[in-house]
Structure 1
Amino acid sequence: MKQPDIVAPGIDILASYTPLQSLTGLKGDTQYSDFTLMSGTSMACPHVAGVAAYVKSFHPTWTPAAIKSAIMTSATPMSSRVNRDAEFGYGAGQLNPRKAVNPGLIYDMDEMSYIQFLCHEGYKESSIAVLMAEKSVNCSALLPQLGVDAINYPTMQLHMKSDQEPTVGVFQRTVTNVGTPQSIYNATIKAPKGVEITVKPASLTFSPAVQKRSFKVIVKAKPMASGQMISGSLIWRSSRYIVKSPIVVYSPQED
């Protein structure tokens, strides 16, 4: 999603503080401390980075996308009663380092996936080439990604196209089994009022370890008021794992 992907502690964090500078940095301030309490989203960043490094220590060959997926799909769900912006305020939920190490399934991506996504979003080929350190990028020559968002991401977001007609979005996803070799995952769908969510297939069977399975999620939403956002979820469950993906449907605020 375009909003926060994950939530981490960021309020009243006891943080190290350089004794070489005063607490305020203002001239005449003689207050110094080795530690101080600090708050804000910036204090959440070190926690997320630390958890990513923690997961990487267990899985040194995992890509950044795989690590991010593990952190997001294993997060502890939060409620819109805590933040009325819901997923746009807290993403997939509050990170859980212990579960992130063993997520069961991951949504992985390689470099080409990001290039295809940027092409799909309409970025100039020259701009993409600079970002990817490539001499040239030819979007028309790339195999098109299926699905409305053209990316293998742990979350799904449907942008309403009309306030008069239903909007339908098809999301193509592929998961890799990094858990129990012999396992079956069944889909559990939570759809808000006015939204139909279908998953095909509704069951994924894995035999050997590190095996991939693809599926598609069809989201059909009735027209909604400008600025409204509602959310549901897709949860893949096995006898051992719970892999959750938020699904958000929203109608942009009219100017």
Structure 2
Amino acid sequence: MRHSLPFAPQFYVTAPQPCPYLEGRMERKLFTALQGENAQTLNDSLSKQGFRRSQNVLYRPSCSDCAACLSARIAVDRFKPSKSQRRTNRRNAHLTRKATSPWATEEQYDLFLTYLESRHADGGMADMDVFEFAAMIEETPIRTRVVEYVDDLGALTAVCLTDVLDDGVSMVYSFYDPELPQQGLGTYMILDHIEIAREAGLPYVYLGYWVPGSAKMGYKEAFSGLELYRQGRWQPKDPGEDYSAEVHPLSVDPIAEQVANIALPDLRKG
């Protein structure tokens, strides 16, 4: 199914498939191509409206009977590390950050496979070969970095594919050594990206989606300054609010209405 707006990219909807986060539910995505000279502008604009990038595509969940996937970001100026997060920073003080161009390496791929085999052996990426991995890293029409973390012996310990937006950094995909659970490397990379954003004077760190009721996404709740894109605007996450209503079928607007409500930059030439 195709939907469009004047002077705008074409939007499409995927066929339903089993949801990876909530058992018994079906997932559907609204997506558009990310290409051409306006790719960075489009990515900046749609990221502020809950979209995420995957290679040359921007997508947002658009399920027919569920709106549980809420785009999440951390407001850097409102973030205060917890005692546990401060301990995580101290445990990883021996790691060195290296930000490079989006270029895939065999060392990255080996770490990626080890991570998947340990954490997501039954996931959609489990069968990704080295060429598909290289495409995930390298096929980007926008400003993207690979942020590597190496230990004091030079061993690659963690990696994050990171987009640079006009108002923040977006953690597209991250993976790490699963044999070091005591180091809290997933948490550490988020903490370090908060520092990266602060160093660059950018106000937000985009984390992807938070899904109430999904244990896979629960770790995102541990960060103060968390904001959720909900009902067309960013709102601070309220610890006292029940977000389970987002799973109700009446919480979903029709596709045509969703597309009509997308605010797009003027991509016309001249």
**Is the pair's TM-score, using the shorter chain for normalization, greater than 0.5?**
no
TM-score normalised by structure 1 residue count:
0.27
More helix by share: 2
Q: When the two structures are superposed, what TM-score results if normalisation uses the length of structure 2?
A: 0.26
| Bigger-Rg structure (1/2) | 1
User: Which structure ranks higher in relative contact order (CA pairs < 8 Å, sequence separation ≥ 6)?
Assistant: 2
